[in-house]
């Protein structure tokens, strides 16, 4: 009965992948080919047709959502199409981290932990590292993002503290010498407090399985079959984990993935894992699933051609199941600058939405900072939209901090703005001091900043430490000087503010500092262009313009995905999704490919994979665009179009006439989805 279900719902290559149970299997499953379907059908097949008990199957993926869907679909398949009622309570379907945490409960004592160990999340990890750095007075570990990344990298490469110390001595670099000490301090703290971080959840089982033959034999006997989804996203330690869990000959291992969609090296994913599988497994069955159920032939032709320029790949060509949509080739247009590019894309989306009201439309860009120009244009045009994977540009911490400074400069009665930034960057003005200041302000019937002015002029004497009073007076001077500057030379306020506060250095203490600084640079670009291009620029008007923007909801709002129409997203955030129409924007050198990713062939190939992933999100309509000039350093600079565009043959794309400069989108105002 279940075999009939397989034959009716899977294609030839998928059926082969499901039925192969005697050899190690690598399923090279391209974008839009239904890779997760192979995992769920094979799990159900093993239970329904091969009589394998559910708890003897291990199925691994990378997100809780994917694991939940995998478990639900497998259960539904078995319940609806067999007479079996499996006990799913003990089913081993989950993320690498959740499965490893479950395994570690059995063997925590061998590692010096109790089975009740807890898991330290990212926020707690940041706090702990900062406390240890401060306590030990490490002078060279000021960038917490780098410190955390290097500790994670050390763990996943199974390095000890002495390895980092030796590296520091070899390089004569105090950073690595201090990091080796912090690494030891950090690991000692975790062990003492019976807690593990996320890297430990993978690394510790690998150590156990490698060092303890009896434990390795136990888990190899536990799992008759191991199935892995999104195999291209595995890192070194996850790959080692799989080789230690599988049977010695590897015949019980099925890996499903796509080397052309390996885009997470910044998280530690190693494309070498999937590329080395044909060499690592002697009797490997390699199956290429290439029937694409998403995109038109024209879109896939373009995707296939561009990705073929990568040398380090196993090689495949996607084939469209669906026919052409109105015989339309993907299109390409150039705009004078990124502002007119955003305006024209909005214009095109309006036309498409009127012609196809049920379509989902996506703007895909390389970095989060690029959302700003689209948010601005869409908000001004009153077009509703949703940002995937992150907050609205104007809701990001670093942007809200700067805007709070702007608000206080303009309005000394804005206590909310005052409280947000009086200790940002850190000035030693804690919550207790702010609370005392607030009580004093209430007694004086003044705002916090007005009270600060009285303190500065020694007209009132607060019950605060002298060091705090000194910092408060300095803060008052800073805001007062910026207020004066906002009237005389408003175009300089942002630069002076960032320099005077050393705000960018302050961001070193946060995760993703490079992305945060990129967001600040984008805000500066917006700020500079306003004062250069607006007919009657003023500091007050710029702040009003920001405040009037009707910020979009992020992906966690109350509407379901099905109810939404326009999406803004980076490539990384939209992987696994699909849209009727896709606009890939900013296809110019230095933007896409990113200027930090063109120095090596390895990085450039990942950039090309990113472009490939973006292209293969499109179902029916694909538009590519790039700005001929880009505003930065208070000037428009010419940019070369992306090499990825230059790689596309002329017969695979329609080149539109150069975009026109749209001064406004009055015909869009009032329109919303």
Rounded to 5°, the CA angle 170-172-177 comes to 85
The token pair at 315 is 């090689």
**Below-70 pLDDT ranges, the chain:** 1, 81-89, 547-563, 658-673
Q: For residues 30 and 290, is the Cβ–Cβ distance under 8 A? A: yes
**Confidence at residue 145, expressed as pLDDT on a 0 to 100 scale:** 87
Pairing of β 553-554 and β 635-638: unpaired
- The contacts of residue 183 (CB under 8 Å, 6+ apart) are 151, 154, 161, 164
How far is Cα 187 from Cα 203, in angstroms, rounded to an integer?
Answer: 13
Q: For residues 392 and 596, is the Cβ–Cβ distance under 8 A? A: no
Which runs of consecutive H residues, i.e. helices, occur in 212-337?
A: 213-222, 236-245, 271-280, 297-307
Q: Which residue has the tokens 């099925």?
A: 254
Strand, coil or helix: 335: strand
Q: Which residue has the tokens 């063109």?
A: 598
- List the catalytic residues: 35-36, 229-230, 261, 617
The token pair at 259 is 């080397």
Which tens digits make up the pLDDT trace of 283-312?
999 999 999 999 999 999 999 999 999 999
Which tens digits make up the pLDDT trace of 642-658?
999 999 999 999 988 75
Which residues face 106 on adjacent strands? none
DSSP helix, strand, coil percent of the chain (3-state; round to 5): 55, 15, 30
The token pair at 532 is 């250069």
Q: For residues 371 and 342, is the Cβ–Cβ distance under 8 A? A: no
The token pair at 654 is 């329609």
SS3 for 389-422, per residue?
CCCCHHHCHHHHHHHHHHHHHHCCCCHHHHHHHC
Strands (E) located in 340-396:
361-365, 386-387
Q: For residues 362 and 614, is the Cβ–Cβ distance under 8 A? A: no
Q: For residues 583 and 364, is the Cβ–Cβ distance under 8 A? A: yes
How far is Cα 322 from Cα 627, in angstroms, rounded to an integer?
Answer: 32
Q: For residues 214 and 207, is the Cβ–Cβ distance under 8 A? A: no
Which tens digits make up the pLDDT trace of 58-117?
999 988 888 888 888 888 888 876 666 655 567 799 899 989 998 998 999 999 998 888
**Confidence at residue 558, expressed as pLDDT on a 0 to 100 scale:** 37
């Amino acid at each position: 009965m279940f075999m009939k279900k397989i034959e009716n719902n899977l294609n030839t290559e998928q059926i082969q992948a499901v039925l192969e149970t005697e050899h190690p299997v690598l399923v090279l499953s391209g974008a839009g080919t239904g890779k997760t379907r192979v995992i769920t059908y094979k799990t159900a097949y093993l239970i329904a047709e091969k009589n394998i008990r559910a708890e003897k199957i291990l199925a691994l993926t990378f997100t809780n959502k994917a694991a939940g869907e995998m478990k639900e679909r497998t259960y539904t398949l078995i319940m609806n199409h067999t007479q079996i009622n499996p006990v799913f309570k003990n089913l081993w379907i989950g993320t690498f981290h959740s499965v490893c945490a479950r395994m570690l409960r059995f063997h925590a004592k061998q590692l010096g932990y109790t089975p009740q160990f807890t898991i330290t999340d990212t926020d707690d990890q940041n706090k702990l590292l900062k406390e240890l750095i401060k306590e030990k007075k490490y002078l060279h570990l000021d960038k917490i993002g780098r410190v955390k990344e290097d500790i994670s990298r050390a763990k996943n490469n199974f390095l000890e503290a002495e390895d980092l110390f030796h590296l520091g001595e070899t390089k004569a670099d105090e950073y690595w010498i201090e990091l080796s000490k912090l690494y030891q301090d950090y690991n000692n703290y975790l062990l003492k407090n019976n807690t593990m971080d996320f890297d430990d959840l993978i690394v510790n089982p690998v150590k156990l399985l490698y060092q303890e033959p009896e434990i390795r034999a136990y888990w190899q006997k536990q799992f008759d079959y191991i199935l892995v989804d999104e195999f291209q996203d595995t890192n070194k330690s996850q790959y080692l984990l799989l080789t230690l869990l599988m049977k010695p000959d590897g015949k019980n291992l099925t890996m499903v993935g796509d080397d052309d969609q390996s885009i997470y090296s910044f998280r530690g994913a190693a494309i070498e894992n999937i590329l080395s599988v044909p060499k690592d497994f002697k009797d490997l069955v390699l199956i290429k699933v290439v029937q694409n159920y998403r995109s038109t032939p024209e879109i896939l032709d373009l995707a296939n051609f561009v990705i073929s320029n990568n040398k380090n790949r196993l090689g495949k060509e996607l084939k469209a199941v669906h026919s052409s949509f109105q015989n339309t080739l993907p299109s390409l247009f150039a705009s004078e600058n990124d502002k007119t590019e955003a305006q024209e894309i909005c214009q095109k989306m309006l036309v498409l939405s009127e012609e196809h009201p049920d379509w989902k439309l996506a703007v895909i860009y390389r970095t989060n900072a690029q959302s700003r120009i689209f948010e601005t244009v869409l908000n001004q045009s009153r077009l509703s939209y949703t940002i995937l994977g992150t907050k609205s540009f104007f809701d990001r911490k670093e942007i809200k901090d700067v805007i709070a400074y702007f608000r206080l400069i303009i309005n000394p009665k804005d206590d909310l703005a005052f409280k947000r930034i009086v200790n940002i960057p850190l000035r030693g003005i804690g919550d207790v001091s702010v609370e005392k200041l607030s009580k004093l302000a209430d007694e004086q019937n003044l705002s916090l900043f007005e009270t600060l002015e009285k303190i500065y002029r020694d007209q009132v004497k607060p019950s605060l430490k002298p060091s705090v009073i000194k910092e408060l007076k300095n803060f008052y001077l800073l805001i007062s000087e910026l207020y004066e500057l906002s009237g005389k030379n408003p175009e300089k306020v942002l630069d002076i503010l960032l320099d005077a506060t050393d705000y960018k250095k302050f961001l070193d203490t946060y995760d993703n500092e490079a992305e945060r600084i990129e967001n600040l640079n984008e805000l500066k670009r917006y700020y500079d262009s306003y004062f250069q291009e607006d007919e009657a620029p003023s500091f007050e008007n710029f702040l009003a313009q920001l405040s009037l923007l009707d910020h979009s909801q992020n992906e966690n709002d109350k509407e379901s995905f099905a109810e939404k129409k326009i999406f803004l997203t980076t490539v990384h955030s939209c992987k696994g999704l699909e849209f009727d129409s896709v606009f890939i924007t900013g296809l110019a050198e230095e933007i896409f490919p990113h200027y930090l990713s063109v120095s090596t062939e390895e990085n450039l190939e990942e950039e090309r994979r990113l472009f490939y992933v973006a292209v293969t999100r499109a179902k029916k309509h694909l538009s590519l665009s790039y700005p001929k000039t880009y505003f930065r350093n208070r000037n428009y600079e010419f940019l070369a179009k992306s090499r990825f565009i230059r790689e596309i043959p002329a017969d695979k794309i329609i080149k539109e006439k150069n975009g026109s400069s749209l001064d406004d989108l009055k015909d869009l105002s009032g329109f919303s989805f």
